Structures are given as structure tokens and as C-alpha cells.
Amino acid sequence: MRCRYCQCTDSKVVDSRPTEDGTAIRRRRECTNCGRRFTTYEKIEEMPIIVVKRDGTREPFDSSKILRGVRKSCEKRPVSAAAMDELVEEVVREINNTLEQEVTTIKIGELVMKKLKDLDEVAYVRFASVYRDFKDSNTFFEELKKLLGEQNAQ
């Protein structure tokens, strides 16, 4: 770290503690040249993730879009806001853990559906009907048969 007063590059850490939100570490440093103190913050460098849409276009990853879709599918269902937030956090964590810079909307949708199936089956079917773009009642019925078949297997 370069001292903000004398520009010396040699300093020692006097105090270190996490920030209130826990996303960074605040360090108090003392310059070994001039003796003055200054504060630095250390954060994890986020790797930007790009979403590849079905039409091939790319845009920055935005978890609020996932949350909007989950909220819409859970509308009028006994699912708490905290449970929805946790679902989105789990999906985001799984996407970040892949360490890939690009992720498809297909992969995101499948992750959300997998989590929704465990959370609320009606919300799962609602989400799947929009995500999989059911064209008619037959495709909708096929998805329901899959869901019922998995329930009977358990």
C-alpha cells in the first residue's frame, strides 16, 4: 500500500477488522516513513458473469431477475420472502461456484426449477410453464406426470 501522505510503499497493519456488512476487511495502517495512519479496505474481487440468452445475446448477470421470477411463481403461495431470498442466494452461489464467466439462461432456469421443486410444487409448475414455454395442455400435462411420477417414487 502506498501512503496517501508521503507516497512511501512501506507500511504496517495496526488494526484489522471486518466491515459491518462483512463484505470487506478494514485495515488501519501506519506508514513506516512518516508515521501517519491511513485506512484501507480489502474486498474479494468479483468475477463478472455474463448470461447467454436463448437468442445468443449476452448481458451481465442480474440476480434480481431471478428473484422477480421466483416471486411471481410463488405469488399467493405459503412461501416466505426469506425462503425466496435464500433460494436465489443458493442459485447465485452455485453459479459462482462453477467458476465459469458465462452461463446460459437454460442453466439458470434449470437450477431455479430444481430448487423450486423442493420449495413449493405449485410454484415449480408455474415457473416451469413460463420457462419451458408450454404451448398447449399436453405439454403441461406431461410435466405434471413427471412431477407426480417423482412423488410416487419417493
pTM: 0.64
CA distance 34 to 32: 6
* Cβ atoms within 10 Å, residue 88: 21
Do residues 30 and 43 lie in contact, with contact meaning Cβ atoms separated by under 8 Å? no
Could you say which DSSP state residue 41 is in? Answer: E
* pLDDT 10s digits, 85-94: 999 999 999 9
* pLDDT 10s digits, 86-124: 999 999 999 988 888 999 999 999 999 999 989 998 898
Q: Which three cell numbers stand for residue 94?
A: 452455485
Domain ranges, ordered by start, for the chain: 11-43, 50-153
